[in-house]
Chain A
């Protein structure tokens, strides 16, 4: 089953509504908890960032992308890999989340984080740490694919089936 999005999702436009802002900050906090709590595997060229599973949420509600942006910013800040990682990493997450919210089908939803993080994050990591670019693309690509597709897709399917956000928050 490939769900299509029913309507145009404009919820990410600033200024956010109170419910969207509350949701975004909660998502951001969960992102930080999962990244920092599962350190050190959440950082570095070889990373397995479980919190990336939350990047499927913008498919359900576009406003969560701001929460992911804030969460990624704070998580990368704590991670201590540098200003590049802080800003560029969260920018990658923001762009990927925005694209996810625009994806037409549920199968494509986890794709933007995989591609943008694999190629984007590797580009500045390879410049700063000298790790070979294509190797890092492969490592990050594989870990993101596992997290976003193997873990994220079932989660997304489950949440969509439950009508998670519509039922409980945006009634």
Chain B
């Protein structure tokens, strides 16, 4: 492995921020990215995220490793795929039998690829610098149903573990002679031998988690008092409100620009 995919403790100014503030920053990134139509914007936001990460203590190395190992293959795949299959535009730059690369496809793929990069890195920035129990506490204090926030957080949490499990199942089935390379029909036939072990293998995980939850009084009714008190300052609250208003204005700007309203 060599890298941590979840919260990395630390004492940087970023770590000390309230989880809601960081969540609002996350939202700001996304909304800016999708309301302002500048092709180089996502890359700029990504550089900004790198600046923020470098302020966060020892998070940078793990962040970088995850982006390289998990993020880059995904982005490359999408980039290459969408270059060939994007349906917009007229001018064809390069042809090879049925595969066509259009200029608009390259632009779209670049935009999409850099957007995915920003999405992954902003979420990673949030997750690596914030304690999951703090996140859950802040969300619950905002009125979010606790069971739902648990599901979101633990889905994110189990994801790397599930991925390695899926990989080992893939290897195991391949060593038993399962065909996975080839045309789409082969791929379809190989799905159930891959999914069924994944489902059945997760049963003990479900049991263990359920036990752990019940041992922590998960299903007792009523609101839970927490020993955890999350720090929040007036400055951060003002900052959040300003950012939220700014986001709303951006959305309005975009809607007006596209003549959806007014």
Contacts and interface: CB of A to CB of B under 8 A. Distances in A.
Interface string A25-39: 110111011101101
A29 B74 contact: no
Contact of A18 (B116, B162, B218): B218
B148 A26 contact: no
Given A29-B155, A37-B166, A83-B31, A77 B123 contact: yes
Given A15-B146, A21-B218, A73-B152, A29 B159 contact: yes
Contacts of B115: 80, 82
A158 B196 CA distance: 10
Contacts of A41: 81
B245 to A, nearest CB: 17
Nearest to B164: A33
Nearest to A24: B151
Interface in A57-90: 66-67, 70-71, 73-74, 77-83
Interface string B140-152: 0000011110111
A15 B145 contact: yes
Interface stretch (B51-59, B82-90, B226-234): B82-90
A25 B74 contact: no
Interface residues of B, number: 58
B158 A29 contact: yes
Interface string B99-140: 000000000000010011111100100000000000000000
A78 B152 contact: no
B246 interface: no
B179 interface: no
Contacts of B1: none
Interface stretch (A45-53, A95-103, A110-118): A45-53
Interface string B66-89: 000000001001101110010110
Interface string A1-37: 0000000000000111111011111101110111011
State the main secondary structure of chain A at its contact with B: helix
B207 interface: yes
Interface string B213-245: 110001101000000000000000000000000
Contacts of A23: 206, 210
Nearest to B150: A21
Interface stretch (B4-12, B13-21, B187-195): B187-195
19 contacts: A15-B146, A15-B147, A15-B221, A16-B147, A17-B219, A18-B214, A25-B151, A29-B154, A29-B158, A33-B166, A37-B163, A44-B85, A70-B152, A79-B119, A80-B118, A83-B34, A151-B192, A154-B192, A168-B203
**Which 8 pairs between the two chains have the least Cβ-Cβ distance?**
A80-B116, A22-B209, A28-B155, A18-B213, A40-B81, A25-B154, A29-B158, A40-B78
